[in-house]
Amino acid sequence: MTEARYDVLGIGNAIVDILARAEEDFLVEQQLSKGSMRLVDMTESKRLYAAMGPAIEASGGSAGNTVAGVASLGGKTAFVGKVADDELGAIYGHDMRSIGATFDVAPLVGGAPTARCMIFVTPDGERTMNTYLGACHALTPDDIDPVLFADTKITYFEGFLWDAPSARDAFFKAADIAHSAGRQVSLTLSDAFCVDRFRGDFLRLLRDGTIDILFANEVELKSFYETSSFNTALKALRQDCRIATVTVGAEGSYVVTPDGIEHVPATVVEDVVDTTGAGDLYASGFLYAVAKGLDLRTAAALGSLAAGEVINHMGPRPATSLIDLARQSGYAL
């Protein structure tokens, strides 16, 4: 197998995040379920934008955030996602390329606008997301470059892609190319509501070996196995996975393989400002470490370090150099 040009390639929804602080009462008034992600149409997206307070815009999207984290660690990255030929699409493309990621997917012309997510951050740092997918639905197998996917050590997919049938087809094409080239394929379950919609599909992908590395948090995992017992879900995951990692907030994460389950403590964060992107950045550290041949415990610890950085500030992507932070913390990267 030839040496890969890229460490991690993310394929997912290209979304511009619009973030604002909000009180708990606001969520109640707007009938929003705290900590959740829901899909909205353009009318609802505009209504929420009009209702929110002062906001900041930041390129986001789960896989895009993960790619940004890997790039900040010094990894070579690429991204595949669909934006429209509009102002937000141009901003998203600029932001992705400015961090050194390859992003060559042609924008959608004459269709839906670039996706955006209205995110409300409560005083405890929890984020509540309302996503209009727009142009993301236009991602198709034609956007999958075989050379790009064959030239990447680990391809990372977000579960949110399953909301668009053509994007699912793109997923299968990309996964087949990656495995044919001897590369690894990873998936994040993304959100408990996403798991509820597509549980059967995700279980099949894990059990038939399409997924080599699975990412989940505690809530997603319990939904995945339809149990209220976290330990029961962990044991079931051990029977199904090759490699998996499950985050449990301030308690850290669990690395799961057929050989066992290992707990890895979290990086201590004194001031949680905004949890947007925490899981995405955890995946950044984990995938970067695996791509570089580091052991799984180190991968989980590096993931926690990256997640700890992003929850220290507003926005879904690193505000400081993760490779500098990692080296200051004793990692030989």
**185-241: per-residue pLDDT in tens?**
999 999 888 999 999 999 999 999 999 999 999 999 999 999 999 999 999 999 999
Q: Give me the sheet containing 15-21, strands edge to edge.
A: 37-39, 127-132, 115-121, 15-21, 55-59
Nearest-angstrom CA–CA distance, 19 and 29: 18
Helix/strand/coil for 106: coil
Report the pLDDT value the prediction gives residue 2, as an integer from 0 to 100: 79
Bridge partners, residue 79, by sequence: 10
- So what's the pLDDT on residue 213? 98
Per-residue pLDDT of 51-67, as tens digits, reads: 999 998 889 899 999 99
Answer yes or no: is pLDDT of 80 > 70. yes
pTM beyond 0.85: the answer is: yes
pLDDT beyond 70 at 150: yes
- Interval 160-166 mean pLDDT: 88
The residue count of the chain comes to 333
Mean pLDDT of the chain: 95
* Portion of the chain with pLDDT greater than 90, in percent: 88
- Asked whether residue 297 carries a pLDDT value surpassing 80, the answer given is yes
Q: What is the mean pLDDT of residues 110-132?
A: 94
The per-residue pLDDT for range 230-278, each reduced to its tens digit, is 999 999 999 999 999 999 999 999 999 999 999 999 999 988 998 889 9
CB of 311 closer than 8 Å to CB of 127:
no
pLDDT of 1 strictly over 90: no
Q: Would you state the pLDDT for residue 257?
A: 98
Q: What is the mean pLDDT of residues 73-101?
A: 96
* Per-residue tokens: 99: 């961090």
Residue 124, both tokens? 């405890």
Among the listed residues 12, 59, 1, 3, the one whose alpha carbon sits nearest the alpha carbon of residue 283: 12
Contact (Cβ atoms closer than 8 angstroms) between residue 224 and residue 238: no
Longest dimension (CA), the chain: 56
SS3 (DSSP) at 298: helix
Outline where DSSP puts E strands in 71-151.
Answer: 77-80, 115-121, 127-132
* Nearest C-alpha neighbor of 85 from the set 64, 61, 110: 110
User: What counts of helices (H) and strands (E) characterise the chain?
Assistant: 12, 13
